Amino acid sequence: MVKKGLTDKEYEIMRVLWNSDKPMQTSEIYAKTETIAENSMHPVIKKLINKGYIRVVGTIRVVKVPCRLYVPGISLNEYIAMQTKEVFRYNNREIDLKGILGCLVKKEKNKSGSYITAIEEFLKEYQSEARA
């Protein structure tokens, strides 16, 4: 079960993992962080595992010592959706999907065409899955 919200350090580690296309060991994650002290890495990673944000997918031997390999346990899109739901629930409101989409399309004029295309593709896929 994934718990809500990430601290700044947790988010920084997740950002590194979300941007990686392969499992990473702690030293690789540390090398890509900017504000986390080396001593803080293992406790923060342990918290992320306990919260369900990170999964261990194996080990690799480094200088005769086994090192764990980590991947995200939740995607960036899942995290964003979870946080959006939490904000609306906290404010005791229904999710205003039309309003959110409107903000994305109107505020990002350079990308608005790609957003609209993505929405149309999503609707086509969703409708075909609902029929199946």
At 71-100, the pLDDT tens digits run 999 999 999 988 888 888 777 788 888 888
DSSP state of 53: S
Same domain membership, residue 55 and residue 16: yes
Q: Say what the pLDDT of residue 118 is.
A: 84
Number of domains in the chain: 2
Q: Which residues of the chain have pLDDT under 70?
A: 1-4, 109-112
What is the model's pTM?
0.79
Give the CATH number of the domain where residue 18 resides.
Answer: 1.10.10.10
Same domain membership, residue 57 and residue 20: yes
Q: Say what the pLDDT of residue 51 is.
A: 92
Host domain of residue 100: 96-132
The single residue listed with the structure tokens 């962080």 is 33
Same domain membership, residue 42 and residue 104: no
Q: At what angle do helices 38-51 and 8-18 cross, to 10 degrees?
A: 80
DSSP state of 74: S
Same domain membership, residue 114 and residue 60: no
Rounded Cα distance, 39 and 12, in Å: 15
Q: Say what the pLDDT of residue 84 is.
A: 85
